[in-house]
């Protein structure tokens, strides 16, 4: 056991995970099975819509700013040209005519910009995946974090979990989590793991029937990663996978597990 500790300490070059060291010593006293799980997050693409009060405040502030602000160059030019037009209509001013014809009027510029704006089409905020509630697609809730859940067989039960895989002696817990991710999503998934320290831990004891002296229970260490690429190729090995938000986790995870997972999930 001490030998294993030594081998594990070497790869933890500059940033040590205290959790891993503690686990190493605990394993010597009470053997737990170790798992590394990966919480893969797809970052939000658009901002969340404003609340009613926020919108009201924003509108009020904009109005205040508009009323307090000075005229911009364009607006001054526009006002001057309107003045000139008005004077031309009332009494014929020939001196300004020659100048006025060669220069583009500010009003024309504005109309041109309006036309351009009308041509522009923004992408929809609520995609079709939202409407159909397709939980397998990545383009669902664009304004919140999406997490990967897979169905795994633990013991003799099929449970929805964050992808996890057992720790092999001689590798860091972070690489275990990366291996779990690679197992479910393929090797070439572009994810950026945040830090070497685990974000959370969930430990449970096996039911009395299976429990032995050397096999009390299991500890699952959670790591977080951000999905860099916008789309994951559909080469998922296990068929049952889902991308869910934090609120929808309750539909799938068990209560104790959910409590531990919710502790490290940041959902603003």
Token pair 């992808």 in the structure block, residue: 163
Residue 222 CB, nearest distance to another protein (Å)?
13
Residue 154 CB, nearest distance to another protein (Å)?
28
Nearer residue to another protein within complex by CB, 58 or 154: 58
Nearer residue to another protein within complex by CB, 5 or 197: 197
- Element spanning 104, H or E: none
Q: Percentages helix, strand, coil for the chain, rounded to the nearest 5?
A: 40, 20, 40
Helix axes 2-9, 18-29, angle to 10 degrees: 170
Structural Rg of the chain based on CA atoms: 30
CB atoms within 10 A of CB 155: 10
User: How far from the centroid of its chain's Cα atoms is residue 104's Cα?
Assistant: 47
Nearer residue to another protein within complex by CB, 46 or 154: 46
Nearer residue to another protein within complex by CB, 43 or 60: 43
* β-bridge partners, 17: none
**DSSP 3-state of 249:** helix
**Footprint on this chain of another protein (rule: CB under 8 A):** 14-16, 18, 43-44, 46-47, 112, 145, 194-197, 224, 266, 268
**DSSP 3-state of 213:** coil
Nearer residue to another protein within complex by CB, 18 or 53: 18
Nearer residue to another protein within complex by CB, 163 or 200: 200
Residue 167 CB, nearest distance to another protein (Å)?
20
Residue 202 CB, nearest distance to another protein (Å)?
19
Residue 112 CB, nearest distance to another protein (Å)?
8
Helix residue ranges, H only, 92-192:
94-102, 106-119, 128-132, 173-185
- Element spanning 78, H or E: helix 73-90
Residue 14 CB, nearest distance to another protein (Å)?
6
């Amino acid at each position: 056991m001490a030998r294993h500790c030594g081998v594990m300490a070497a790869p933890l070059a500059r940033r040590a995970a205290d959790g891993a060291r503690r686990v190493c010593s605990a394993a010597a006293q009470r053997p737990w099975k170790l798992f590394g799980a990966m919480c893969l997050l797809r970052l939000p693409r658009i901002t969340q819509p404003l609340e009613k009060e926020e919108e009201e405040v924003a509108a009020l502030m904009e109005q205040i700013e508009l009323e307090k602000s000075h005229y911009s160059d364009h607006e001054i030019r526009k006002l001057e040209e309107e003045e000139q037009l008005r004077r031309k209509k009332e009494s014929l001013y020939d001196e300004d005519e020659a100048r006025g014809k060669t220069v583009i009027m500010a009003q024309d510029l504005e109309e041109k910009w309006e036309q351009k704006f009308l041509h522009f089409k923004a992408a929809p905020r609520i995609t079709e995946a939202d409407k159909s509630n397709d939980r397998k697609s990545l383009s669902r809730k664009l304004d919140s974090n999406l997490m990967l859940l897979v169905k795994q067989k633990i013991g003799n039960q099929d449970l929805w979990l964050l992808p996890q895989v057992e720790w092999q002696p001689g590798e860091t817990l972070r690489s275990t989590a990366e291996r779990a991710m690679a197992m479910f999503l393929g090797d070439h998934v572009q994810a950026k793991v945040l830090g070497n320290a685990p974000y959370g831990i969930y430990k449970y004891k096996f039911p009395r029937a299976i429990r032995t002296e050397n096999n009390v229970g299991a500890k699952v260490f959670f790591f977080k990663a951000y999905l860099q690429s916008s789309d994951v190729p559909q080469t998922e090995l296990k068929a049952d996978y889902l991308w869910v938000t934090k609120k929808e986790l309750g539909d799938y995870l068990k209560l104790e597990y959910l409590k531990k997972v919710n502790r490290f999930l940041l959902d603003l």
